[in-house]
Amino acid sequence: MPEHDISASFSDDEENGQFSNIFSPNNRTKYKSPNSNKSLRSSDHCLNSPNNLQPRSESLGIHYSEEKLLRVGGGYTQGMSVLCAPFLYEMPEVDAFFCFNLLLTKHIPQYVNSSLDGVLTGCSLISRVLEVVDPELFHHLDGTNHEHLMYFGFSFVMSLHACMQPLEEILKIWDVLFAYGVHLEILIVVAQCVLLREKLLADHKNPFTFLTLKSLQLQPFDAEILVACAFSLIPHIHQDLLDEIACHPIVSLDANGFR
């Protein structure tokens, strides 16, 4: 384990509202989906239209109705359909909805409130972590476009990287997020920047073209390299910031930390 433990690892007890390695190879065989070789596309239209995702069950509407979503939380918010899709691709509909409900209500409630507070906090944390682990890259990006630096990670944080493709690589990332904590998504986004640092530093006009969702979807996507890079960043981050990262999906934070 890294020196700083931000895992807050999930137990195997579903009754306590935890996941149990649901995307392990054994469970993927059990929950094999006829669509598992497909990729999840991401656009504003796709984010809000579960019909485009072609899940294993065409009766998704039964559980994806407004009534059910109101029981999940405060109603539908942007990105819910993309978060729901990997579950539906990999397991039966009822199990998928159970896990989807658990994710939203127990592990990322701040991501799916009406103002998306947790997602916005996550974007701010990405900027702060990048400043700590790679000051040169941070100042280059911040000097080019401060606003883009603050919000380029929005789609990734909101979807826990499910906006990327192919699906198989997304599931590898979700394996790690469900094992160590979904808050690790912040470090995965930072790792994505670090792995592109040469290209980003070489562009003095608009380096954020390399960080757009469309551009990143065209690049080779290796979840194992991304996760390894994310873990390598942990020893360089001070504990107070790690604590904020760990808590931001479930606790409302202000500019100075906990609220």
**Residue 32: predicted pLDDT:** 35
Q: Hey, is 226 helix, strand or coil?
A: helix
Q: Is residue 178 scored above 80 in pLDDT? A: yes
> Residue range 141-166: average pLDDT?
87
- Cβ neighbours for 12, distance < 8 A, ≥ 6 positions apart: 18, 20, 21
Q: Tens digits of per-residue pLDDT, 205-232?
A: 887 777 777 777 777 889 999 999 999 9
**Residue 160: predicted pLDDT:** 96
Burial class (CB in 10 A: 0-12, 13-18, 19+), 118: buried
> Residue range 44-73: average pLDDT?
41
> Residue range 156-184: average pLDDT?
94
Q: Hey, is 237 helix, strand or coil?
A: coil
Q: Tens digits of per-residue pLDDT, 109-144?
A: 999 988 889 999 999 999 999 999 999 999 988 888
CA atoms within 13 A on the CB side of 45: 3
> Quick check: bond before 220 cis, omega within 30?
no
**Residue 98: predicted pLDDT:** 93
**Residue 146: predicted pLDDT:** 75
